[in-house]
Structures are given as C-alpha cells and as structure tokens.
Chains A and B, each alone.
Chain A
Amino acid sequence: MLMIRIKAPVKATKGQVIELKAMIQHKMETGYRRDKYGRQIPRDILRRFECLYNEEVVFRAQFFPAVAANPILTFYTVATESGFLVFRWVDEAGVEAFDKVELEVV
C-alpha cells in the first residue's frame, strides 16, 4: 500500500482557481544505481499521473527518472461543480494507486 497525501480545499466558490497538492511514497528507482554487489538495480518508477474531476481529466503528467523520489505535484484547476477529485498514479507495470477527495462548490 503506497502512502498518499493530498492537499485540496474542502470548499470553493464556483470559478475559483484552486491549488491541489498530491504526494505519493515511491522510490522512483532510476535504473542507474548499483547495489552493493555491483548489480544494476532495475528501473522502477511511476510513469503517469492523472487528476480527474468528476471523472473528467483536468491534469496529466508523464514522469521520467529525473522526478524525485516520493514525488509531489502542485497544480491548479478551476472549481466548476461539487463532486470528487481523484488522484491516480500508474507505474511501468501498469499498477495503479489512487486517492479521492470530495469538493463542495458553492
């Protein structure tokens, strides 16, 4: 289970630009490091990130090995209607991790 931290407002006014922060616990192994026996540690990184607002994609990111471990993203979206924000990460093997928060728009 990957630990996830989300920072999002609970409430916003319609049309307001809100700041969203999403952090996930992940080594983001670059594939360039060697273990103590000299063997190359295989690359294992999160590849994609998506934020869905009531199931519509409002932000997407593609990660390369240069994204720091325990990646954190700060991005913005316009509060349009009440609903759910889903934050989803996918790694190279297609394994997903996600979290969901509720947003009330007045």
Chain B
Amino acid sequence: MLHSLCRNISILSLLMWSAFASGEEIRSFHDKPDLPTSEIKSGYEFLTRESRMLQSDDFANPGLLWVDRGEILFHEEGEHKSCASCHKGQGNYTLAGAAATFPKMVSGRLTNLEVQINHCRVERQRLVAFEYESEKQLSLTAYVASLSRGMPYQVSIVGDARPSFTKGRDYFFQRRGQLNLACTQCHDDNQGKLLRGDRISQGHPNAYPGYRLEWQTFGSLHRRIQDCDVGVKAAPFEAGSTTYIELELYLAWRAKHLLLESPGIRR
C-alpha cells in the first residue's frame, strides 16, 4: 500500500514536473490517472461474437475489399511511378509496420498516414492529392494499414511531437457539445457499461481505417471521431484537420500495447 502510494505520488510529481517543464498550466483532468495498462482492451473485446468473427474472417471481412483495391492502386503504374517502385522489398522504405508509427512529425509538420500518402503523391509521384475520405484514399490507407496488422503502435510523444500530443490530450479531456461531455467521461470513466444496447468501449483507434456497420462501408478514424462529436451534439471538425490529427496522436499513445487491427469491424 505504501509502495503504491509512493509510486502514485512519484507519477503525479512526474506529470506535474513535465507540465511545468513545458510551461503549461495544470488542469485538474491532467492529474487524472490514465487507464491502468493491464486494463487496456481493444474495441474488439466489446463486440458481439458475430462481429468479432467477421473481423477475424480472412475472406468475409468486408474491409478486405478496400485492402484489395488498395493493393492494386499501390502497384499501379502510369505516367507516374507506382508506390511499389519505392516501397517494395527490404530497406528503408518497406511499409511493414509503417502505419503503426503514425501520427508523427515529418519536417516539422504533424503527419498522419493520409497526409503522408498525399505528400508522396504530390512530391514524388507528381499526382494530385487525394480528397479526404475518397474511395482511393480509403483503399490505399486500408492496404498500408493492413501491413501493420497485429503490430503495436510505435508513436513518439517527445521532442517536437510534445505540443501536438498535449493538444490532442486536451481535446480528449475537454467537454463539448450540447451534451457537454468529454471523451474521457465515456471512454475512461464508463467504459464497459451499457449505453442503451451498446457496451461503451475504451475508444481506441486501432481498428481504423475500418468497416463500421453503422456506415455500411469503410471509413477513416477521422470520420469515426466526427461521429462521436455529432453524438454529443458538438459541431465536428473537418476530416484531415490538425485538431483531429493531434487527437489521433494522443489516442495512438493511449492505446499503449494494443495491436493494430485494421481493417477492423466495429459497430
């Protein structure tokens, strides 16, 4: 008991120190402990047996239709060189595990997988950037994310990523909308409890980009976050907005040891 008390105080002081060190004001929510690592569970655990079976089905998972198309797009050559021409095989540019490292700072800009793909398209392939949530973008992100399936997140929240991480965390703890709810109130405080017919999950991002039964189609994490904002009757941000990428960084860190499941199935 004394040992855990000492440990909690030292964690608290570490948090307070890091907050002071970056010159931020302490907010009461930031003293709130994160979900205990041993209790972190993927949204997969909150699905019915049938939905879990669908996600694990290597044929019938409908998200695989987008992965398949993504694989075709990845190898497509035209007047431009294909993604595969740089990213195939061993070496620095292999994409196995790449999706698990996003979001990250690239040349001073917080970048997620979608932003990185567009950067490659414009700068390296001399193509037009994808519109967010377009079929081709979803297909390519589905394919690249599938190359990290079964791997844990490897995001960095130190150095120049720190301010973005803090902003993302602020978003998670900020009340919003007509229902005046913060993400943490459902997904930390009430996870596992029933909300009408649904069991509230911990709100981890590891199934996305994924197939949401509610949409009857495949979609990005940002689209899912928009649904949450609308759910508490708050005006959602644009998909692809910096706000959501910052939140994405916080969520990837918060997911700790969870493995990527994209293409996932969720309600």
Contacts and interface: CB of A to CB of B under 8 A. Distances in A.
B68 A3 contact: yes
Nearest to A2: B65
B187 to A, nearest CB: 27
Interface in A57-95: 68-70, 72
Given A27-B216, A68-B216, A7 B59 contact: yes
A21 B60 contact: yes
B69 interface: yes
A21 B59 CA distance: 9
B217 interface: yes
A23 B59 contact: yes
Interface residues of B, number: 10
Interface in B45-75: 59-60, 62, 64-66, 68-69
A73 to B, nearest CB: 11
Nearest to A70: B62
A72 B65 contact: no
Given A21-B59, A21-B60, A3 B217 contact: no
A33 B217 CA distance: 15
Contacts of A68: 216
Given A21-B60, A23-B60, A5 B216 contact: no
Contacts of A7: 59
A16 interface: no
B68 to A, nearest CB: 5
B59 A70 contact: no
Given A3-B65, A5-B65, A23-B65, A69 B217 contact: yes
A87 to B, nearest CB: 14
Contacts of B69: 3, 25
Which 8 residue pairs of A and B lie closest in terms of their CB atoms, listed nearest first? A69-B216, A25-B65, A70-B62, A3-B65, A7-B59, A3-B69, A3-B68, A72-B60
Given A5-B64, A72-B60, 12 more contacts: A3-B68, A3-B69, A5-B59, A7-B59, A25-B62, A25-B69, A27-B216, A27-B217, A28-B216, A69-B217, A70-B62, A70-B217
12 contacts: A3-B66, A3-B68, A3-B69, A23-B60, A23-B65, A25-B65, A25-B66, A25-B69, A27-B217, A69-B216, A72-B60, A72-B62
